[in-house]
């Protein structure tokens, strides 16, 4: 796995249409424009991000913690972090913490076995990092190299960065048919399901709350056998509390059961969360393939590339997928996240 961006500027620019301005489409458009391609980004919603799953994300960049779900995430995610650090100045590089109530020590043992945390802190070590959690947990796992951000700010930043890199952004424009571009990169999320039969949706509910009664500097995950939860500190005293993982494509509002579970677990993390104001609730559908890893699938001789299936890792892996597609268009070595049912497509000729 490369550890830095190895894609150089193209000498033969292509015209590229990227469909969908969620996190995957934004990173594709930005990366491909920065290497010199002529990029158009088409988004059906006239209000940026209004119809995207990306707006609901907690935006933790946590390859170590998330390797609990798939070991491959660790290496791909570490590279994703490197690319975010090179691009987004407001990334908060404060690491992440994982705690468990004493009665859930079996969960802590299972998590540690699955993820090999770089550091285990005792109660004093935890209090040093997060004074407001002092005395609440006997131990914590610390992943110092992880990062997080405030979701709406990061999405707006990327859209602006894409425009500044020369991307022609078309909002309120639903893509329906083949385009005259050399390459179409399809990042429509769940809207691509009819063409990607293996794609399924995994519902994630979350709340945004606000309080000045407690101060956290980094995401904290509370392990639990049924209701694991994380709290991500956003700017201005806001916290994202998430997230359910439900095998359902129901796009309806958060249920009472899920709200009770999430808020109850936040209260278990610290009772001061009881005084927080609920600013926002919402549910997004995470597009996922059966292995829960994203793919860039090349079709039509390389003219149509589906980038999808980011599951819980859209923010973490979007830059890696963008780099993989840019490398493919530059005829570089195939990337493990690229798949094709045809003989490996070569770079299409400009028309």
Ligand X SMILES: Cc1cc2nc3c(=O)[nH]c(=O)nc-3n(C[C@H](O)[C@H](O)[C@H](O)COP(=O)(O)OP(=O)(O)OC[C@H]3O[C@@H](n4cnc5c(N)ncnc54)[C@H](O)[C@@H]3O)c2cc1C
Q: How far apart are CA 75 and CA 264, in angstroms?
A: 34
- Interaction residues for ligand X, span 233-262 (CB under 6 A): 242-243
At residue 211, φ and ψ (nearest 5 deg) are -155, 145
Closest CA to 88 of 149, 23, 20: 149
Closest CA to 193 of 184, 181, 201: 201
At residue 248, φ and ψ (nearest 5 deg) are -155, 150
Min dist CB 155 to ligand X, Å, is 9
- Tokens 């952004």 sit on residue: 169
Q: Which is nearer to ligand X, 86 or 106 (CB)?
A: 86
List 51, 68, 107, 182, residue binding ligand X (CB under 6 A): 51
Q: Which is nearer to ligand X, 135 or 172 (CB)?
A: 172
Min dist CB 38 to ligand X, Å, is 18
Could you say whether residue 201 binds ligand X (CB under 6 A)?
Answer: no
List 39, 41, 57, 158, residue binding ligand X (CB under 6 A): 57
CA terminus-to-terminus distance, the chain: 33
List 20, 201, 233, 302, residue binding ligand X (CB under 6 A): 20
Could you say whether residue 22 binds ligand X (CB under 6 A)?
Answer: yes
* Positive or negative: CA dihedral 77, 130, 89, 29: positive
List 316, 320, 322, 326, residue binding ligand X (CB under 6 A): 316
Total chain residues near ligand X (CB under 6 A): 41
Q: How far apart are CA 31 and CA 42, in angstroms?
A: 16
Could you say whether residue 63 binds ligand X (CB under 6 A)?
Answer: no
List 29, 33, 35, 60, residue binding ligand X (CB under 6 A): 60
Min dist CB 103 to ligand X, Å, is 26
Q: Which is nearer to ligand X, 233 or 314 (CB)?
A: 314
Could you say whether residue 302 binds ligand X (CB under 6 A)?
Answer: no
Which residues lie near ligand X (CB under 6 A)?
Answer: 19-25, 42-45, 51-54, 56-60, 174-175, 187-189, 191, 204, 206, 242-243, 284, 286-287, 308, 310-316
């Amino acid at each position: 796995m490369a550890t830095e961006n190895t894609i150089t500027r193209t000498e033969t620019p292509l015209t590229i249409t990227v469909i969908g301005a969620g996190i995957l489409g934004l990173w594709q458009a930005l990366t491909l424009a920065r290497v010199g391609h002529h990029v158009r980004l088409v988004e059906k919603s006239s209000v940026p991000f209004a119809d995207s799953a990306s707006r609901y994300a907690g935006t933790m960049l946590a390859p170590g913690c998330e390797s609990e779900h798939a070991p491959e995430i660790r290496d791909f995610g570490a590279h994703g972090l490197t690319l975010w650090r090179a691009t987004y100045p407001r990334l908060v590089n404060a690491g992440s913490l994982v705690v468990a109530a004493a009665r859930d020590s079996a969960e802590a043992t299972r998590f540690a076995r699955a993820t090999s945390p770089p550091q285990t802190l005792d109660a004093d070590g935890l209090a040093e990092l997060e004074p407001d959690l002092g005395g609440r947990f006997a131990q914590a796992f610390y992943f110092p190299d992880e990062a997080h951000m405030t979701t709406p700010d990061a999405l707006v930043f990327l859209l602006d960065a894409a425009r500044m890199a020369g991307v022609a952004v078309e909002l309120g424009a639903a893509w329906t048919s083949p385009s005259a571009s050399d390459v179409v990169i399809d990042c429509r999320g769940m809207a691509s399901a009819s063409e990607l039969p293996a794609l399924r949706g995994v519902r994630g509910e979350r709340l945004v709350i606000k309080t000045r009664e407690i101060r956290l500097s980094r995401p904290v995950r509370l392990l639990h056998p049924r209701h694991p939860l994380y709290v991500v500190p956003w700017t201005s005293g806001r916290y994202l509390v998430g997230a359910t993982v439900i095998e359902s494509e129901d796009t309806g509002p958060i249920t009472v059961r899920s709200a009770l579970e999430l808020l109850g677990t936040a209260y278990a993390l610290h009772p001061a969360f009881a005084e927080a104001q609920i600013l926002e609730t919402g549910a997004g559908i995470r597009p996922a393939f059966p292995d829960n890893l994203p793919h860039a699938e090349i079709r039509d001789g390389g003219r149509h590339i589906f980038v999808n299936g980011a599951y819980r890792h859209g923010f973490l892996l979007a830059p890696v997928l963008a780099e993989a597609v840019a490398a493919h268009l530059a005829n570089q070595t195939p990337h493990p996240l690229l798949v094709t049912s045809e003989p490996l497509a070569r770079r299409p000729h400009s028309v």
